[in-house]
Amino acid sequence: MAKTSRANRKRIADLKSQARAQRLLSAKKKGERLIPDSVLKRLAALNLPPNQWVYDVCLRELLRSM
Contact 42, 62 (CB under 8 A): yes
Model pTM above 0.85 = no
Q: Report the pLDDT averaged over residues 11-24.
A: 91
Mean pLDDT throughout 56-62?
Answer: 91
Share of the chain above pLDDT 70, in %: 98
- Are 58 and 48 in contact by the 8 Å Cβ rule? The answer is yes
pLDDT band at 1 (very low <50, low <70, confident <90, very high): low
Segment 24-48 shows an average pLDDT of 88
For residue 19, the SS3 value is helix
Query: In the chain, where are the structural domains located?
Result: 1-32, 35-66
Mean pLDDT of the 22-29 span: 86
